[in-house]
Amino acid sequence: MSEFKKKFCPNCGSSNIKWTIPQLWSIWECFNCGYRGSVVIENDELAQKIKKDYKAKQKEV
């Protein structure tokens, strides 16, 4: 059993995020939308919802 929780971008719901700056341990970067910040989502259900909303937003543009 893995203790490592999957993390998601709070902006677009992508799991394609990476902890980028070793000096600033709390900063994450999303490769999908370019989000950068300390907030990440660990809730799968919530991530799916964000992903849906983000896709809907993309269509509007």
Query: Which residues contact Zn ion (rule: CB under 5 A)?
Result: 9, 11-12, 14, 30, 32-33, 35
Of 5 and 55, nearer to Zn ion (C-beta) is: 55
Helix (H, G, I), strand (E, B) or coil at 5: coil
Of 11 and 47, nearer to Zn ion (C-beta) is: 11
Q: Do 33 and 12 form a contact (C-beta atoms < 8 A)?
A: yes
Question: What's the closest the beta carbon of residue 7 comes to Zn ion, in angstroms?
Answer: 11
Of 12 and 47, nearer to Zn ion (C-beta) is: 12
Give residue 15's Cα distance to chain centre. 5
Question: What's the closest the beta carbon of residue 58 comes to Zn ion, in angstroms?
Answer: 12
DSSP state of 56: H
